[in-house]
Amino acid sequence: MAAQQSTAPLARRTVTLGVTGGIAAYKAAEIVRLLRQMGIHVQVAMTAAATRLMSAHALATLSEHRVALDLFDPSLDATPPSLDVSSWGKSQPSREVGIDHIALSRRADLMVVAPATANILGKVAHGIADDLLSTTIMASSVPVLFAPAMNVQMWENAAVEENVALLRRRGYLFVGPAAGALACGETGTGRMAEPTEIVDAVVRELLKRRHGLRVLVTAGPTEEPLDPVRVLSNRSSGKMGVAIAAEARDRGHLVTLVAGPLRCELPLGVERIAVTTAEEMQAAVETHEAEADLLVMTAAVADYHAKVVSDAKLPSGQKALSVDLVPNPDILAAVGPKRRERGAITIGFALEIGADGDARARQKLEAKGLDMIVLNDATRADSAFGGDTTRVALLTPEGDAAQLPAQTKREAAREIVRRAERLCGFLPTVEETHPS
């Protein structure tokens, strides 16, 4: 278990985004927006060609940071500070002159170049540093992720292929390009990966170099087929599990999300494993729980599946239909006690309605070997399935019960993850930068 560690949350990470002169440069705005949404600090460096396709002002506004354009700061050309004798000995303005590329690479935890043209790939592969961006990449000691974007003939050009292979061998990372319709009117491989895919790769890369917990979260309902078109399921949206996965990610933990068919968007920056049935969810949990410091089982696993799944569509009509149902395995009951034995932390959820909810949740806490159970009454308007708010109580084996107020699922997730960190003996350093 990762005890007594601290981690840097995403809010304290810096990404340098290099933008080169491909038509996909306009998508840099969305990349900056998504990174900023997660609290990641972004500094943008643009090539001269990129500024003709995308506004540096827009990227400066979105990143809330000056955009670096030149190796040499033109504003210093008129009165070079080093020649301003009156300032000698008072301050050192000249220290910043011409070293933007060093600062850009040193301040960053990761560099991403999106779009990356054939030109920048060629330059980096062959050690050419003739402008701010190529110099910054060359001076960088952090991982560099390229998102290539170019015409299909260029992507398939032998020189580009060799450059990409060379860069991969040297440890440079790539996301995309994808196949599809290209801006030039042709179809083929060369489209820049979508901004969500690029940000997903950036965040995963940032979190790999972390000292956080390994967190496994399950979310959503499962679907049990009755025939090729009909399923047995429940009303779970998956929002609570997604909120927990996103919160754990933002606090610097490496997250794997096992997701049933969700009725909400999947979070970026986490490993996602899509499952449909309880059996598939069980297989995924059993594969991944061994390396998880923390398992949070929010999934509303269907309790039954059809004894026989009909190969043909069941006939509809006026006659009563009965289907034999058999119980699904209880995933948590199978892994919880084993995890407890080896000191790994496990949190379950209980959906209980009525007065004895507490007592029934406590029985589950005990029977499934849990360290905490999150009790929820989904018949309340402020805690309903699919809603954005929830009102939960947190119960532990020691007999403690904390009733949380009705709040957004994200706020509840923050409280659950904070408590889980403590149960894991994990000392976060995030409170001061991550306000509630």
β-pair partners for 346: 295
Q: How far is the CB of 278 from ligand CTP (least distance, A)?
A: 6
Amino acid sitting at position 372: M
Minimum distance between the CB of residue 260 and ligand CTP, rounded to whole angstroms? 10
Which residue, 246, 265, 204, 244, is CA-closest to 15? 204
Both tokens of 313, joined, read 């569509």
**Does 193 contact ligand CTP by CB under 6 A?**
no
Is 330 a binding residue for ligand CTP by CB under 6 A? The answer is yes
Note the helical H segments in 112-194: 118-125, 132-138, 152-155, 158-169
Q: Fill in the amino acid letter for 116.
A: A
Work out how close the CB of 350 gets to ligand CTP at its nearest, in angstroms, rounded to a whole number.
Answer: 4
* 184 in active site: yes
Buried b (16+ CB within 10 A) or exposed e, 173-195: bbbbbeeeebeeeeebbbbbbbb
Q: In angstroms, give the least distance from the CB of 245 to ligand CTP.
A: 14
Catalytic residue, chosen from 184, 231, 378, 401, is 184
Phi, psi for residue 178 in degrees, rounded to 5:
-100, 165
Q: Which is nearer to ligand CTP, 301 or 424 (CB)?
A: 301
Beta bridge partners of residue 45, listed in sequence order: 18, 68
> Is 339 a binder of ligand CTP (CB under 6 A)?
no
Q: Is 394 in the site for ligand CTP (CB under 6 A)?
A: no
258 binds ligand CTP (CB under 6 A): no
Nearest distance, CB of residue 281 and ligand CTP, angstroms: 8
Beta carbon nearer to ligand CTP, 203 or 332: 332
How far is residue 85 from each of residues 72, 80, 81, 89, 395, measured CA to CA in Å?
A: 21, 10, 8, 9, 69
Crossing angle between the packed helical segments 158-169 and 118-125, to the nearest 10 degrees: 50
Pair 69, 46: CB distance under 8 Å: yes
Question: What stretch of H or E contains 336?
Answer: helix 331-341
CA separation for the pair 11, 171 (Å, rounded) = 26
Kindly tell me which residue out of 68, 167, 254, 297 binds ligand CTP, with binding defined by CB under 6 A. Answer: 297
Closest by Cα among 18, 305, 22, 302 to 182: 22
Applying CB under 6 A, does 303 fall inside the site for ligand CTP?
yes
> Which residue in 155, 172, 349, 426 binds ligand CTP (CB under 6 A)?
349
Applying CB under 6 A, the site for ligand CTP has a residue count of 14
Does position 351 interact with ligand CTP (CB under 6 A)? The reply is yes
* HSE-CB for 364 with a 13 A CA cutoff: 23
Do the beta carbons of residue 255 and residue 425 sit within 8 Å? Answer: no
Which segment (63-71, 238-246, 316-324, 344-352) binds ligand CTP by CB under 6 A? 344-352
Q: In what order do the strands lie in the sheet with 294-297?
A: 271-274, 254-259, 214-219, 294-297, 345-351, 372-376, 392-395, 401-403
The one-letter amino acid at 323: V
Is 364 near ligand CTP (CB under 6 A)? Answer: yes
What is the nearest approach in angstroms of ligand CTP to the Cβ of residue 290? 16
Residue 337: its H or E element: helix 331-341
Q: Determine which residue in the list 10, 299, 365, 372 makes contact with ligand CTP, applying CB under 6 A.
A: 299
CB of 261 to ligand CTP, least distance (A): 15
Q: Which is nearer to ligand CTP, 350 or 413 (CB)?
A: 350
Q: Which of residues 243, 273, 331, 372 is near ligand CTP by CB under 6 A?
A: 331
**Judged by CB under 6 A, which of 114, 350, 365, 372 binds ligand CTP?**
350
**DSSP structural state of residue 170:** T
Instruction: Pick between residue 124 and residue 350 the one whose CB is nearest to ligand CTP.
Output: 350
Residue of the chain from 124, 278, 294, 424 that contacts ligand CTP (CB under 6 A): 278
Kindly tell me which residue out of 122, 190, 241, 348 binds ligand CTP, with binding defined by CB under 6 A.
Answer: 348
Binding site for ligand CTP (CB under 6 A): 278, 297, 299, 301, 303, 328, 330-332, 348-351, 364
Positions marked catalytic: 184
